[in-house]
């Protein structure tokens, strides 16, 4: 690990022009905005999913946003040395709301509990409504206020990025609304500060981008829109050469976390849990059947989202049960140490 003074830092300032048409809405298909060396610290910020156009409970996304320009990303970043077959490691040092507010909304044909373009039904749509949230960044609170009934409650601030990914394989270019094995719009609340995200590299330079900050979200992101906020975010980027990662994985201090994104939701569960079994086999040397058994008794299985173009499940395994085995050759521990040094000498 490099001593702190060699921790190289890169600050990337997104184009301040806020014409939504000029922003990035895909994984793949765009030229990189900057190059990052493995080990480097990247400080940048991300717009909210509405590109800042929804600013009050009176704003309707259908009126202030162009449907072609939803969920802008910051990036893509070209990671030097990244080749197909490698794994990109992205450690989230900090994710902080850029402003003191967030918004959520019910969009009529979007969400888990409504007819949608793919669960195509004849029922009348739900109303379009926007909720405005004050964020208390010092007390770390998100204030919920009912719109047409009476209830107020403070929820814990728990900032995260809904969308994190790289360019897909097979020459595909995918909308930032879609999650998949390249990452993308997974919308898991596990993507918070302190976590290391592992992404398989599909193209030279990986072409990493991210966005869709949430001040918090419930599991499932049920109506499809979390507490959406612009974010100031610091990540450390590294590369694990010659090790492929079929589906995005996360590692926190306490958990190994796998993801699977597809429909129906049981198939997303199957992907996440076969991935977790495979990871345990790699790191602990378990046989497949022994890992299947251990996962059966010890894994957690929270839903990430049931609202995007396909759904995302996560599977979580407590690292306490690894008997000391370090995943990915200790990459997360290395990242945590780097982040600690960074906090000491900001």
Residues 149-188 that bind its own copies (CB under 8 A): 149-153, 155, 169-175, 177
Question: Using the 8-state DSSP alphabet, how is residue 119 labeled?
Answer: S
CB 76 within 8 A of CB 164: no
CA distances, 145 to each of 141, 181, 214, 224 (Å) = 13, 36, 17, 18
Q: Is 264 in the site for its own copies (CB under 8 A)?
A: yes
Q: Is 32 in the site for its own copies (CB under 8 A)?
A: no
Q: Is 199 in the site for its own copies (CB under 8 A)?
A: no
Binding residue (CB under 8 A) for its own copies from 157, 186, 223, 341: 223
Q: Is 277 in the site for its own copies (CB under 8 A)?
A: yes
| C-alpha to C-alpha distance for 335 and 40, rounded to whole angstroms | 11
Q: Which stretch binds its own copies (CB under 8 A): 20-28, 43-51, 54-62, 205-213?
A: 20-28
CB atoms within 10 A of CB 344: 8
Binding residue (CB under 8 A) for its own copies from 126, 192, 232, 243: 126
Joined together, the tokens standing for residue 135 give 């964020």
Q: Is 287 in the site for its own copies (CB under 8 A)?
A: yes
Q: Give the contact letters, 299-328, x = binds to its own copies (CB under 8 A), - = no.
A: xxxxx--x---xx-x-x-----x-x-----
Binding residue (CB under 8 A) for its own copies from 14, 28, 72, 179: 28
Binding residue (CB under 8 A) for its own copies from 10, 34, 64, 115: 115
Site for its own copies in 35-74 (CB under 8 A): 68
Q: Which stretch binds its own copies (CB under 8 A): 8-16, 24-32, 92-100, 231-239?
A: 24-32
| C-alpha to C-alpha distance for 276 and 262, rounded to whole angstroms | 16
C-alpha Rg value of the chain to the nearest Å: 20
Joined together, the tokens standing for residue 317 give 């395994």
130 by DSSP, 3-state: which?
A: strand
Q: Is 112 in the site for its own copies (CB under 8 A)?
A: yes
Binding residue (CB under 8 A) for its own copies from 297, 344, 345, 346: 297
Return the C-alpha torsion angle 74, 79, 84, 87, nearest 10. -90
| C-alpha to C-alpha distance for 217 and 289, rounded to whole angstroms | 35
Binding residue (CB under 8 A) for its own copies from 4, 8, 62, 119: 119
Rounded to whole angstroms, the maximal C-alpha distance in the chain is: 62
Site for its own copies in 75-104 (CB under 8 A): 104
């Amino acid at each position: 690990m490099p001593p702190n003074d060699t921790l190289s830092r890169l600050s990337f300032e997104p184009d301040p022009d806020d014409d939504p048409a000029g922003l990035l809405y895909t994984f793949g298909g765009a030229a990189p905005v900057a190059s990052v060396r493995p080990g480097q610290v990247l400080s940048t910020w991300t717009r909210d999913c509405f590109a800042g156009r929804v600013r009050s409970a009176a704003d309707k996304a259908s009126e202030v946003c162009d449907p072609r320009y939803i969920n802008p990303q910051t990036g893509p970043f070209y990671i030097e040395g990244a080749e197909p077959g490698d794994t990109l490691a992205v450690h989230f040092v900090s994710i902080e709301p850029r402003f003191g507010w967030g918004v959520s909304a019910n969009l009529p044909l979007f969400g888990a509990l409504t007819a949608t373009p793919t669960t195509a039904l004849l029922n009348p749509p739900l109303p379009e409504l926007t909720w405005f949230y004050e964020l208390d960044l010092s007390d770390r609170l998100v204030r919920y206020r009912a719109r047409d009934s009476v209830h107020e409650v403070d929820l814990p601030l728990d900032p995260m990025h809904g969308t994190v990914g790289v360019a897909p394989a097979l020459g595909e270019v995918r909308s930032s609304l879609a999650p998949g094995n390249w990452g993308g719009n997974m919308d898991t609340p596990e993507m918070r500060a302190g976590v290391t995200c592992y992404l398989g590299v599909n193209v030279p330079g990986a072409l990493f981008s991210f966005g869709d900050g949430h001040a918090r979200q419930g599991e499932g992101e049920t109506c499809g829109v979390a507490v959406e906020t612009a974010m100031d975010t610091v990540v450390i980027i590294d590369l694990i050469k010659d090790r492929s990662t079929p589906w995005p994985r996360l590692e926190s201090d306490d958990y190994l976390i796998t993801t699977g994104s597809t429909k129906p939701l049981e198939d997303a569960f199957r992907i996440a849990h076969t991935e977790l079994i495979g990871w345990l086999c790699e790191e602990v040397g378990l046989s497949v059947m022994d890992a299947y058994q251990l996962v059966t008794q010890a894994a957690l299985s929270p839903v990430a989202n049931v609202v995007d173009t396909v759904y995302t499940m996560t599977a979580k395994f407590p690292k306490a049960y690894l008997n000391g085995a370090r995943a990915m050759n200790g990459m997360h521990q290395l990242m945590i140490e780097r982040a600690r040094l960074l906090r000491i000498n900001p």
